Structure 1
């Protein structure tokens, strides 16, 4: 299995992911894991347009994504998994998908969120999910672009909780 990256990014595929991360990691396929987006043809069309030439794209609900990964469908490809929020990634992990590290990139600010970093904003449900992911032994990092230093996300989260 060749999962070369797992990222949380509210924007899914955009300039940083399509250009910087895809090039740095030599991505062969983006796998967007999102039940809502998988059923939205307009959003899927936008993601196809944002995907760089030479990189394949799958946009799947959690169950189908887990089935495909575990069945070895992407074994010959360099797979980069992207989700908007942590919940779908926890579901993948609980279904047996081997995830070692999750890069928390951008989680947009809304009226309901609180800021952890300049670009990462969470609600209580996200915090609970991040804690569950960490309890499963998955390393969580914060890194917007490959040239940034990788930071321990759980430390940032704890600091944000104590503000």
Structure 2
């Protein structure tokens, strides 16, 4: 069962390990990222950051979707972590069970502007967000589970 799809450019880190995992009752972290899946050093460091008793899977986006859609994995309580709106969009297209996307942290980068204190979006990101909103997905901004949900669409329209 997919518990949450989270966009966070840091992927696996303390906030995820110590707040999101226990709050959601997650037993599996699924990092869906083509680059990280090929980088042994990054895989090792993420393995060190994961909480004890939690399984860590690091897969290219296409393989992550295969995992999510395989009936034998339906009993896993999965937190999906991606580091871009583009990858989240792909996961949403490939796993229809997803009805909500959490925007946790996307730092300012070339062409991106802040829409909240921790989320910066490019124009391309905003186009993908608009499409997800048209499909009726909940897009919410929260760094930790105890934060109040902020609707991403509202934050963008306030700019």
TM-score band w.r.t. shorter chain: over 0.9
Distance in 1, matches of 2:71 and 2:124, equals 31
Deviates more, 1:90-99 or 1:111-120: 90-99
1:143·1:151 contact (CA, 8 Å) conserved in 2?
yes
The number of residues matched between the two structures is: 159
CA deviation profile, 1:34-92 (whole Å, cap 9, x unmatched): 11111111111111111010000111111111111111242111100111011112112
Matched, 1:149 2:157: no
For the structure 1 residues 33 and 97, does the alpha-carbon distance in structure 2 shift closer, same or farther, using more than 3 Å as the test?
Answer: farther
Deviates more, 1:128-137 or 1:2-11: 128-137
Distance in 2, matches of 1:63 and 1:24, equals 27
How far 1:7 sits from its partner (Å)? Answer: 0.6
CA deviation profile, 1:75-111 (whole Å, cap 9, x unmatched): 1111001110111121122224421111101001124
1:30·1:56 contact (CA, 8 Å) conserved in 2?
yes
**In structure 1, what is the equivalent of residue 106 of structure 2?**
107
Gaps of 5+ in 1: none
2:15·2:144 contact (CA, 8 Å) conserved in 1?
yes
Distance in 2, matches of 1:101 and 1:77, equals 18
The alignment's TM-score, normalised by the length of structure 2, stands at 0.94
Distance in 2, matches of 1:12 and 1:97, equals 22
Mapping of residues 3-152 of structure 1, within 5 Å: 3-152=2-151
Distance in 2, matches of 1:109 and 1:123, equals 9
Gaps of 5+ in 2: none
Segments of 4+ moved more than 6 angstroms: none
How far 1:112 sits from its partner (Å)? Answer: 2.8
For the structure 1 residues 87 and 111, does the alpha-carbon distance in structure 2 shift closer, same or farther, using more than 3 Å as the test?
Answer: closer
